Structure 1
Amino acid sequence: MNTVWKQTPISAEGRLGRPDEHPGRSDQDYLRRRDALAARAAGHRVGAPYAGVDYTEAEHRTWRTVHTALGPAHRAHACREAQDAAEAVDVPAERIPQHAEISPGLRARTGFAFTLAGGVVPNERFLGSMEHGYFHAVQFVRHPAVPLYTPEPDVIHDVFGHGIHLSDPRLAELYRLFGRTANRVRSEEALDILSRIYWFTLEYGLLTESGTPKAFGAALLSSFGEIAAHTVREVRALDIRAAASLPYCISGYQPVLFAARSLAHLEDTLGAFCAEFDEDTGSRLGIPSLPRNRT
């Protein structure tokens, strides 16, 4: 099936040029704050307790701006499963919650909890930890000049995106599926293929409702600029081999997205792929090796 949709573009408020022109890349005061919070993750053991953050009023204001924008954006553009999951997450509107405030609710509903990250985490650690109910999350906040878009995951992305997913048992089981699969292999090539499938499904995947692709992935749910389609994007019917053969860039909008027919279709597709996944999957399916520098 080679169905291709073209999504109607909707302006992304606050979008400033290319990712490398984003103020979060050059504002030295912001970078010092961001790097200091990221440095807390050095040597962190998965699942170990860690300190919260004394967020500034400016950081809380960024949170409030995004919180206000994402509510109507979800109602307009998110799939029903994501909207239902969001209702189960007790997220304060006026301030940034600590990881320790979010994790108990997730643990009670699905057995998941946040564990500390300072930024991008190696595939083996990041994916493998999900089998054991831990999701790596950062504490720093995006740059206040562009609150509705960030070129890298931040606390808003992790809470509004993955926090929503991990509050729902069916969605959380997909994370565990990736974790179990990652822990069966060891090569960088196999883990890299698995990370691409994760990227185009749980981060940037779409679910089709009444013939229309709707946002499902955590990166879309947490970004007003992306959930509302900043430009015409190519949307293809979900094809695991095609997704595994595409490079992705963390710091930018994705030009190609994949839409499953339903959550059940996504579950069945990922389940079948992961059941047979091994070190030889890449060569067996003819999936190319791709550069791993995606910043």
Structure 2
Amino acid sequence: MFEDGQVYSPVTEHRDGTVQVHLADNHPGRDDPDYLARRGQIAAAALTWDRAVGEPVPTIGYTEDEHEVWRTVSAALAEAHARHAHPEYLAAKAALGLPADRVPQLAEVSERLAPLTGWTYIAAPGSVPLREFYGDLRQRTFSSTQYLRHASQPLYTPEPDIIHEVIGHGNGLASERFARITEAAGQALTRMESEEAAKLVADVFWFSMEFGVIYEAGPSGARELKAYGAGILSSFGEMEEFREMEIRDLDLADMGTLNYDITQYQPILFAAQDLGHLEDVVGDFFATADDDACARLRREAEDRGLVPERV
């Protein structure tokens, strides 16, 4: 769950070269000067990194406290993944083999991921402009933060951190099937000319690759709801709650126009009947959508009363 309405904390680069990260009032590290300084150092590494000339992705010298946060969260999430994650994600996670005892460098994540699906990771200080972020996705490149949540509350974060970016998204990107859908999302958004169409694509991505769920046949033959979205699979609390939410069938018009509050657990989730169904509906939409298709979905949503009609 991300409780900061801006998702990523804003970053300011001052004339003297120092970098300041502006944490939300509800952030556990808001009044911790050491944490604030550390966040500034890590953001500065990404800001000064010159991607254009091919510099290596910044290496962060993580502290023992930061490694301990990673260890604590990795152990808690592993137990929850065994119960709640979709088998495709679990198989990809096993193939990627991220370390559980220390924070991996982004270069190491790329070294493990590239042979599996061709994806690589690059560094970002925080928020990345929408079209830039999706433009990288279309090249199988994921922009990731490098900071960790505050040590006082390791199972809680008010913003996406490296745990979300790597354990949530990175493990999923080790699946070629999830990797193809994510790449197609990047291609789709960068095709869009209007900002309204781009937002619709991003919202479908939100309710699929960030907060998506899939039905899977359980040991008894009964269908069980499993998570594959990175926002769920990087949140111990959300994994314990997602089955209690309102579960709707995949519906592109609804997914692309539904208002959602990023400050709360998602109360409405969209479930695929199986992985093939996700590929057929969401994957095909990303592969073929254009501005006209997004406009038709918007009109459909209006006709069905899902969103107010524009005047």
TM norm structure 2: 0.81
The answer to whether structure 1 residue 214 and structure 2 residue 219 are counterparts is: no
> For structure 1, which segment, 274-283 or 184-193, has the greater mean C-alpha deviation from structure 2 after superposition?
274-283
1:245-260 aligned within 5 A = 245-260=257-272
Contact 1:128 1:178 in 2 (8 A): no
Provide the C-alpha distance between the structure 2 equivalents of 1:20 and 1:208, rounded to a whole number of angstroms. 38
| Matching residue of 1:31 | 36
Code of the aligned partner of 1:108? P
Contact 1:124 1:183 in 2 (8 A): yes
Code of the aligned partner of 2:34? D
Code of the aligned partner of 2:180? E
Residue 22 of structure 1, CA deviation: 3.8
| Matching residue of 1:194 | 201
The answer to whether structure 1 residue 74 and structure 2 residue 81 are counterparts is: yes
The answer to whether structure 1 residue 223 and structure 2 residue 246 are counterparts is: no
Q: Identity over the aligned pairs, expressed in percent?
A: 44
Provide the C-alpha distance between the structure 2 equivalents of 1:110 and 1:94, rounded to a whole number of angstroms. 24
| Matching residue of 1:130 | 137
Provide the C-alpha distance between the structure 1 equivalents of 2:37 and 2:225, rounded to a whole number of angstroms. 39
Residue 156 of structure 1, CA deviation: 0.8
- Among residues 159, 167, 175, which one is paired with 1:160 in the alignment? 167
Residue 231 of structure 1, CA deviation: 8.9
The answer to whether structure 1 residue 41 and structure 2 residue 53 are counterparts is: no
Say which one has the larger Rg.
Answer: 2
1:50-129 aligned within 5 A = 50-129=57-136
Provide the C-alpha distance between the structure 1 equivalents of 2:239 and 2:260, rounded to a whole number of angstroms. 17
Query: Cα–Cα, structure 1 residues 249 and 41, in superposed 2: closer, same or farther, change >3 Å?
Result: farther
TM norm structure 1: 0.85
Provide the C-alpha distance between the structure 2 equivalents of 1:76 and 1:83, rounded to a whole number of angstroms. 10
Provide the C-alpha distance between the structure 1 equivalents of 2:106 and 2:79, rounded to a whole number of angstroms. 25
Task: Count matched residues.
Answer: 276
RMSD (Å), alpha carbons = 2.6
| Matching residue of 2:192 | 185
Q: Describe the SS at the equivalent of 1:125.
A: helix
Structure 1, unmatched stretches of 5+, are 1-11, 291-295
Contact 2:67 2:103 in 1 (8 A): yes
